[in-house]
Every structure is written in C-alpha cells, then in structure tokens.
Structure 1
C-alpha cells in the first residue's frame, strides 16, 4: 500500500503578509495601480526587500511595441512603497523624488522580475531602490529599468 504525504501548508512570512495587506489596501484606491498591476504576483518579502513578477501585456506597451516608460515609473512608485511596507509600516508615505533609468525593453509575453529595496527608512524620509529585470529563456536576467524613490513619511 502506497503511503502519500502532503506537504505542510506554506506559511507566509510576516513581511510578506504585511506587503500583501498594504497592497490589497492601496490597490482599491488607485485606479492606475489596479489597471497596470492587477495581475502582479508578490511572492517574497523580508525586512527591507520584496520580489514580484508580472507578465508584460499589451496595456504595458508604448506605441512602438516596447515597454512603456510610464509603466516602469509606475512600478518604481509602487515598489518603493511596498519596500517600505516590509519594514512594518502601514502608511508608506508620499513621493518627494522619483528617478527611473531606462536600460532595455521588454515585449508582450516577457516576464518581468521586480525587486524593491528599502535602503533607509528614517523618521521622516525613506529611500528605496527598485530594479525591473526581464527573465530570459536561458534563465538569466536583463536589467530593463532601475529606479530610486524617496518618500516622506508622516509619522504620528
């Protein structure tokens, strides 16, 4: 008689649960996030960083068929806030500065890996770095965009 074992249920880390809670709260109040990022998969978080992936869809493209700069800027804004959330904050602040460097492109069907890092979360300001990379068929990654995002934190 064959014995079957089932894997124990996957536990979600506290930072990941925090990120998912913040994401679920803000997405309903942000039509642009809901439109561009409704199918993003946030799958890993630890204090100070998180990872997500998304498949490039037609709505993410510019008129020339490449990844739209607005999409990368939106992801930088979104991921900066979620990186801050990994540090336990419910309110992830308002943007004071955002910068995106466009290094490559992506097309429909490509998978993007998004990584957000909270470099420093101070009393009133948080500094984050974001990378958006395309996963290649060989398993390597190509950096598509890199951003930095500074947010003002209104702590009470």
Structure 2
C-alpha cells in the first residue's frame, strides 16, 4: 500500500469516528486507491443513501463531495483537511439500491490557506460508467 493511501485511510478512520453523518452514510465505503492529490473509493447504494422516492438523495451527493474533497487534500499529506468555504454539486443522473458508485476526488490546488477540489460520482453500468454527480469544493486549510 502506498504512502498516500495509508495517509488517506488514517485521516478517514479518524474522521469517521468523529462524524456521525459520515459514519451513517459512508460506513461501507471502500477507499481503495490514492496518489498525490487523488483519492478513489466505491460504495454500493443502500437504503441509507436514498430519498423518499427511492433514488440517490441529493444530500448524499453533497456529503460525498465534502468528504471526498477532504480526502483528496489528505492525499497531499495533510492531517487536517480544513473547513468548507464553498461547495457546489451538479446532479446529472440518478442511482438506486444496488448500484455501485465510483467516487474520484482531486485536489486541484492546495495553497497556504485554501484548497480547491473536484469530485465525480459515477455509477457502473453494463455499457460503462454514467456520471451521477459532479462537485466542486473549496476548503480553508492552514498549511503553514
């Protein structure tokens, strides 16, 4: 296992024990890959991630954008992934129970006080991945 993946998993384990919402929505997520500035994870959609109509809840995608953006920052070696200053999510298609989601986050820039990330959430289909949501996330970080 690479150093970046170890760092991301360490930060995730600490974060999940201190965040009931992350533990509730993401308890079964598999963080399986990381390199400098990039984190990849997967999750099978279950009842906890659904809205009242049986589709992936928009709040879940926003939560994933927050969570995954922080872990992309962690892949750059930071133990503290900052606090949100801005978050945007575009909802592009749906997902439902049993769908497998692939989550990829990128730290586009980690500066002295701000970090800018992008997150893609895709579902696996027989014909290839389908983009479900795309997010951008800015966090205040103190790196120096």
Aligned match of 2:42: 53
CA distance in 1, matches of 2:44, 2:71: 19
State the TM-score, normalizing by the size of structure 1: 0.91
Aligned to 2:137: 149
2 CA distance for matches of 1:155 and 1:115? Answer: 23
Which residue is 2:74 aligned to?
Answer: 85
Match of 1:9 in 2: none
The total of aligned residue pairs comes to 144
Secondary structure (helix, strand or coil) at the match of 2:18 reads coil
Contact 2:5 2:32 in 1 (8 A): yes
C-alpha distance after superposition, 1:66-105 (max 9, x if no partner): 1000000000000010000000000000000000000000
Partner of 2:2: 13
Partner residue in 1 for 2:22 = 33
Q: Does 1:112 align with 2:101?
A: yes
CA-based RMSD: 0.7
* Structure 1 residue 154, shift from structure 2 partner: 2.6
Counterpart Cα distance in 1 of 2:55 and 2:95: 6
**Contact residue 111 and residue 143 of structure 2 kept, 8 A:** no
Name structure 1 gaps, 5 residues minimum.
1-11
1:102 pairs with 2:91? yes
For 1:51 and 1:155, how far apart are their aligned partners in 2?
23
Q: Look at both structures and tell me which one has the larger radius of gyration over its CA atoms.
A: 1
Structure 1 residue ranges (4+ consecutive) displaced by more than 3 angstroms after TM superposition: none
TM-score between both structures, scaled by the size of structure 2? 0.98
- Alignment correspondent of 1:7: none
Asked whether the equivalents of residues 85 and 140 of structure 2 are also in contact (C-alpha less than 8 Å), the reply is: yes
